[in-house]
Structure 1
Amino acid sequence: MQKLKYLDYWLLVPYLVLSLFGIVMVYSASADIGSQNGGSPGSYLIKQAIYVLLGMIIVTFMFKMNLNKLRDKTILKYAGYLALAALLLLLVRGQTINGAAGWFRLGPIGIQPAEFVKFYLIVWLANAIDQRQDELMEDGWWATMLRPVLICFGIVFLIFLQPDLGGSTINAAIVFVMLLASGFNWHRAVAFFGGAFLLVVAVIFPLVVKVSEMGFAKNVYQLQRIVAFINPFKHSQTVGQQLVNSYYALSNGGVFGVGWGNSIQKTGYLPEPNTDFIMAILAEELGLITALAVITLLFLIIVRTVLIGIRSGSAYQSLICYGAATYLTVQTLFNLGGVLGMLPITGVTFPFISYGGSSTWTLALVMGVILNISARQKHYRATR
């Protein structure tokens, strides 16, 4: 079929706009970093432009390919072995950035396997659930899904050990939502995760505060992030510096911003201005209006993806859509939550806007598959 005829512009246009706008914001947010590191102000711009260009090639490839190739047992098996080997190797040979040994250095770029695992879990788990539809009806949920659940738990646990709290939580959320869609009792799920949340709020956070007051969190990066979240201004000269300067950036920007390229906080005050905190720089330079426009475009992609999943007559395709929408939603909430001080800083990027090859390419894989599913749906409706 002529897939271009059935291209979903409600997905493609926001993706292109956000990706291209991301290149512009990466340049603005990273120009000072590039100079401070001995390079040129445009060094990150060039890299991000290449990442996005390669991402668009990936989107085109995934859009045109036969979706059944993603269900090939051999491909899924060896991709799983590769992911497992990479995650295990990271524990002993990974490059440590911001307290997590989650990167392999390949020349001038860093590869983050936990990003690609998000895509792998989506397509693998969708296939695993779809192939067990009859067994789910006959043998019950736990008897049928225990093995896939244990495999997913093992993968997420390896990411957690890096330690990468943000990456492991996003992957866990993807798995959780897809398992719910497979027929898992949502009452039990809500009770379990609600209880876990209350435990964290009532026990873990107070414990972290006590630990920080005793000085034990001084060299533990993950604990420092929670300490900074609880009381950033008390630790504004140390672990709370990121969040406090994020507040300053948001305050400086106001509704319309101080102008593109005019951020104060990116000039050495706010660490990671081109990755974790790029939305703070965006809000400072271009204001609340532009930030809301970016979030609206991303929200459009998420809603469109969910609608495609709902309309699909294939359980496999629906599950992929739900997993992809969860990935985009949770990652967005985690990033914005960290920038706004509503959640501990988890070190995750903002989709399509932040600098990074691994995240850009993983998003491209997901977008290509969703565009593929949407085109198949449009073709089916047009020919039936």
Structure 2
Amino acid sequence: MQKLKYLDYWLVVPYLILSVLGIVMVYSASADIGSQNGGSPGSYLVKQAIYVIMGLIIVSFMIMLNINKLRDKNILRYAGYVALASLLLLLVMGQTINGAAGWFHVGPISIQPAEFVKFYVIIWLANVIAQRQDDIELYGWWVTMRWPLAICAGIVGLILVQPDLGGATINATIIFVMVLASGISTKKSVSIFGAALLGVVLVVFPLLTKISEMGFAKNVYQLQRIVAFVHPFAHSQGVGQQLVNSYYALSNGGIFGVGWGNSIQKTGYLPEPNTDFIMAILTEELGLITALAVVTLLFILILRTLLVGIRSNSTYQSLICYGVATYLTIQSIFNLGGVLGMLPITGVTFPFISYGGSSTWTLALVMGTVMNISARQKRFRATH
């Protein structure tokens, strides 16, 4: 309980505000969907509220946890087995949503393993790099880290073949930034990135084509998203519908919005208004000023997480913070880029605001861990 005295309110307050706003916006964005699906207008509200409450419990647990428990080799090993087994099982029995077989249906909820893998990759890779610092100096970076990188490549590859380009890219970027932060030279990091990119072109893309030919991929949904990104208005009645209606929502909202609950685009015009495009609905109802406030709060979280990492004298804790900051940054950029038409739509949710249990709980895990690290730092400074 002593850690509660050292909570970092630059992390706690934005987290709470964004989570509560997420519940409010999920209710507004999903009320029509709930009714259309034969349920009540508040069905998604209840679920999201439960997800957030459970998320707060997870955050509290992570704050109180001895962070060294996350480095236990048995915990990391068995968590790795579960992660790999889940990703493999998705290929044969995953529930397909928006063109990707990335979910397990468990009772009334759907679990997305790729979300939890982000947390696992961060804590596992941070531990591996921290433990092997001496070996890196003695034997060289590549000799020491080639097998951990091969495991990371396997994880990213399994996410990519779902196919989940957004999730794969986010995990790959987290890995890349943590590798950069480990002390590797810029020349080597660029070489690794180039090799990974070449591997995607020469191996992954042909593999995806082969899987499609074998009948495991039943549509070209990912390709359609590229087409919609390039020529949205030419396909406004088909694959470009999401982006075109996102533009309409942003235009309707203006600076101050049309008022909470008054969105037009959520009433059947804009698909996925409570997940991928919730920021378009938020902007339509509450205006550009509120959207900028949300981005500012998220920016504060990211900057504070980076600052906690910079201040830490532990390589392990610093790498966790850099991984979490990368996760929040890339996920936000992908979502907003899709909403604004600056990037292809990847099906990535907006942190804290979008509906979803897996994303809410993963965010709780990473933010609880960063809050733990920050509290340890503040307690150390107060007692020394």
Alpha-carbon offset, residue 176 of structure 1: 0.5
Is contact 2:254-2:288 (8 Å) kept?
yes
Shift in Å at residue 187 of structure 1?
A: 3.6
Equivalent in the alignment of 1:258: 258
Alpha-carbon offset, residue 288 of structure 1: 0.2
Q: Secondary structure at the match of 1:110?
A: strand
Instruction: Look up the match of 2:208.
Output: none
SS at match of 2:348: coil
State whether structure 2 residue 71 is matched by structure 1 residue 71: yes
Cα deviation digits, residues 75-117 of structure 1 (max 9, x gap): 0000000000000000000000000000000010000000000
- Which SS does the other structure have where 2:102 is aligned? strand
Whole-angstrom distance in 1 between the partners of 2:76 and 2:197: 34
Corresponding position of 2:294: 294
Quote the residue 2:215 is aligned against.
Answer: none
Per the TM alignment, residue 322 of structure 1 is displaced from its structure 2 partner at its CA by: 0.2
In the alignment, the residues of structure 2 paired with residue 278 and residue 84 of structure 1 have an alpha-carbon distance, to the nearest angstrom, of 31
1:338 is aligned with what amino acid?
Answer: G
The match for 1:26 is 26
Match of 2:15 in 1: 15
2:220 paired residue number:
220
Partner residue of 1:108? 108
Please state whether the residue corresponding to 1:347 is helix, strand or coil: coil
Query: 1:162 is paired with a residue of what secondary structure?
Result: coil
State the SS of the aligned residue for 2:321: helix
Q: In the alignment, does 2:239 pair up with 1:235?
A: no
How far the C-alpha of 1:271 sits from its partner, in A, is 0.3
Q: CA deviation at 1:219?
A: 3.8
Q: Partner residue of 1:42?
A: 42
Given that residues 176 and 193 in structure 2 are in contact (C-alpha distance below 8 angstroms), is that contact kept between their aligned partners in structure 1?
no
Matched residues in 2 for 1:163 and 1:317: separation? 32
Go from structure 1 to structure 2 and tell me whether the alpha carbon gap of 1:93 and 1:16 turns closer, same or farther (over 3 Å shift). Answer: same
Deviation per residue, 1:40-62 (Å, 9 max, x gap): 00000000000000000000000
Distance 2:255 2:80 in 1: 46
TM-score, normalization by structure 1:
0.93
The question of whether the paired residues in 2 share the 8 Å contact of 1:22 and 1:353 is answered with yes
Count of residue correspondences:
368
Amino acid at match of 1:299: F
Structure 2: segments with no counterpart, 5+ residues: 201-217
Instruction: Say which SS state the counterpart of residue 272 (structure 2) adopts.
Output: coil
Within 5 Å, which residues of 2 pair with 1:185-200? 185-190=185-190, 193=193
Deviation at 1:195, TM superposition (A): 10
Structure 1, unaligned runs of 5 or more: 201-217
Is residue 271 from structure 1 mapped to residue 271 from structure 2 by the alignment?
A: yes
Per-residue CA shift, 1:228-273, capped at 9, x if unaligned?
Answer: 1111111111100000000000000000000000000000000000
Distance in 2 (alpha carbons) for counterparts of 1:299 and 1:6: 22
Cα separation, partners in 2 of 1:110 and 1:164, compared to 1, 3 Å: same
Superposition pairs of residues 222-371 of structure 1, within 5 angstroms = 222-371=222-371
How far does residue 184 in structure 1 lie from its aligned partner after superposition?
A: 2.2
Report the residue type matching 2:92 in the other structure.
V
Q: Deviations over 1:294-326 (max 9, x none)?
A: 000000000000000000000000000000000
Between the aligned partners of 2:273 and 2:197, the Cα distance in structure 1 is 30
Output the aligned Cα RMSD.
1.8
- Counterpart in 2 of 1:214? none
Q: Percent identity?
A: 79
CA contact (8 A) 2:160 2:168 kept: yes
Residue 204 of structure 1 aligns with which residue? none
Letter in 2 for 1:99: G
2:6 is aligned to 6
Aligned equivalents of 1:369 and 1:188: distance in 2? 30
Cα distance change on mapping 1:41 and 1:305 into 2, 3 Å: same
Moved more, 314-323 or 187-196: 187-196
SS at match of 2:45: helix
Q: For the structure 1 residues 89 and 352, does the alpha-carbon distance in structure 2 shift closer, same or farther, using more than 3 Å as the test?
A: same
* Structure 2 CA distance for aligned equivalents of residues 297 and 197 of structure 1: 33
Secondary structure at the aligned position of 2:103 is classed as strand
Alignment check: 8 A CA contact 1:141 1:183 kept: no
Give the superposition deviation at 1:188.
4.5
Deviation, structure 1 residue 382: 1.2
How far is 1:189 from its partner?
3.4
